[in-house]
Amino acid sequence: MLSDRELEQYSRQLMLPDFTLEYQERLRSAWVLVVGCGGLGSPLAIYLAAAGVGRLILADGDTVERTNLHRQILHGEADIGRSKAASAAALISAHYPDCRVSQFTENLEEDALNQAVNSVQLVADGTDNYPTRFSLNRACIRAGKPLVSAAAARSEGQLATFDVGSGGACYRCLYPQEGATTALSCRENGVLGPVVGALGTLQALEVIKVLTGWGESLRSKVLMMDLRSYEQNIIEISRRDDCPDCGGELRRGFGL
């Protein structure tokens, strides 16, 4: 049961005719792993905490740089040189004390990654490199957990949900090649701050949809946007029988 204080705090989203008390309670009991506390992870984590998600695990092995400040709104001038995960956890805990926040200040790898994924209901990927995305994809397949993934650079962005446990496609059904080491990045290509803000906010909305069942999610779909022109498109993804992750030994080994 939500307390009177919680009913007041979340009253505006509970006013929606199809957003029920049960949905709010699902958010309160949810555990979400947010990987990446930068341009995408900043609005993502803030809006999840503000919406009433009960537990966030924040993971980021980087530290705050001055070049981050125009878009990574979890961090400020005083945080330069500080762990991004620690900076993000401190701000969210201060503003949203009902949200329990824990942090990993190093990159999650192997056993630590698998343990973190197994401990949550959903993983939200706000990283900017393919090796980490592929590792997250495999860990989510093993655990049968949905992966909500976003990316943004220049004026472009994309958002998708990969949920093999529910019969959907995985990240490598969309990107089967593992040769590249670095995705299109803000460091090399530039970005306007509101572009990653828009994608991170949409990512938070998608996480809420998947956790609660409200609305229509992007399972096995990719939303592609160019915010310079406001052009957008949604494409469907089919599971690949020859996918090196969900179509191979990994999938069979975990009964998926």
Classified as helix, coil or strand, 154 is strand
pLDDT for position 128: 86
CA dist., res. 223 & res. 246, Å (int): 21
Tally of domains within the chain: 1
- The parent domain of residue 99 ranges over 18-152+179-218
User: Residue 45: in which H helix or E strand, if any?
Assistant: helix 41-51
Indicate whether 35 belongs to any domain: yes
Q: How far is CA 83 from CA 60, 73, 168, 188, 228, in A?
A: 8, 14, 35, 22, 32
pLDDT for position 256: 52
Indicate whether 4 belongs to any domain: no
Rg of the chain on CA atoms, in Å: 18
Indicate whether 109 belongs to any domain: yes
Indicate whether 124 belongs to any domain: yes
End-to-end CA distance of the chain: 35
* Nearest residue to 43 (alpha-carbon basis) of 156, 199, 212, 242: 199
pTM > 0.85: yes or no: yes
Q: Are 51 and 210 in contact (CB under 8 A)?
A: no
pLDDT for position 161: 98
- Supply the CATH number for residue 202's domain: 3.40.50.720
Q: How far is CA 241 from CA 99, 190, 209, 238, 253, in A?
A: 40, 36, 28, 9, 15
Q: Are 52 and 10 in contact (CB under 8 A)?
A: yes
Give 161's strand partners: 148, 219
Indicate whether 241 belongs to any domain: no
CA dist., res. 31 & res. 121, Å (int): 6
Indicate whether 11 belongs to any domain: no
* pLDDT tens, N- to C-terminus, the chain (256 residues): 899 999 999 999 999 999 999 999 999 999 999 999 999 999 999 999 999 999 999 999 999 999 999 999 999 999 999 999 999 999 999 999 999 999 999 999 989 999 999 999 999 999 988 999 999 999 999 999 999 999 998 999 999 999 999 999 999 999 887 655 555 555 666 789 999 999 999 999 999 999 999 999 999 999 999 999 999 999 999 999 899 899 865 555 555 5
Indicate whether 172 belongs to any domain: no
User: Please, where are the H alpha helices in 175-239?
Assistant: 186-189, 193-212
* Residue whose tokens read 């990159």: 107
CA dist., res. 22 & res. 28, Å (int): 10
Indicate whether 188 belongs to any domain: yes
